[in-house]
A and B are shown apart, each in its own frame.
Chain A
Amino acid sequence: QVQLQQWGAGLLKPSETLSLTCAVYGGSFSGYYWSWIRQPPGKGLEWIGEINHSGSTNYNPSLKSRVTISVDTSKKQFFLKVRPVTAADTAVYYCARGRIDGYYPLDFWGQGALVTVSS
Chain B
Amino acid sequence: EIVLTQSPGTLSLSPGERATLSCRASQSVSSSYLAWYQQIPGQAPRLLIYGASRRATGIPDRFSGSGSGTDFTLTISRLEAEDFAVYYCQHYGSSLYTFGQGTKLEIK
Contacts and interface: CB of A to CB of B under 8 A. Distances in A.
Given A44-B88, A45-B88, A105 B47 contact: yes
Given A102-B32, A105-B35, A105-B90, A110 B97 contact: no
B63 interface: no
A94 B96 CA distance: 16
A44 B102 contact: yes
Contacts of B97: 35, 37, 47, 50, 98, 106
B44 A111 contact: yes
A94 B90 CA distance: 15
User: Chain A at the B interface: mostly helix, strand, loop or mixed?
Assistant: loop
Interface string A103-119: 11111011110000000
Contacts, number: 57
B99 interface: yes
Contacts of A50: 97
Interface residues of B, number: 23
A46 B99 contact: yes
A102 B31 CA distance: 12
B99 A45 contact: yes
A21 interface: no
Interface residues of A, number: 23
Given A104-B32, A104-B92, A44 B101 contact: yes
Interface string A84-110: 000000000010001100111111011
B45 A60 contact: no
A37 B88 CA distance: 13
Interface of A: 35, 37, 44-47, 50, 58, 60-61, 94, 98-99, 102-107, 109-112
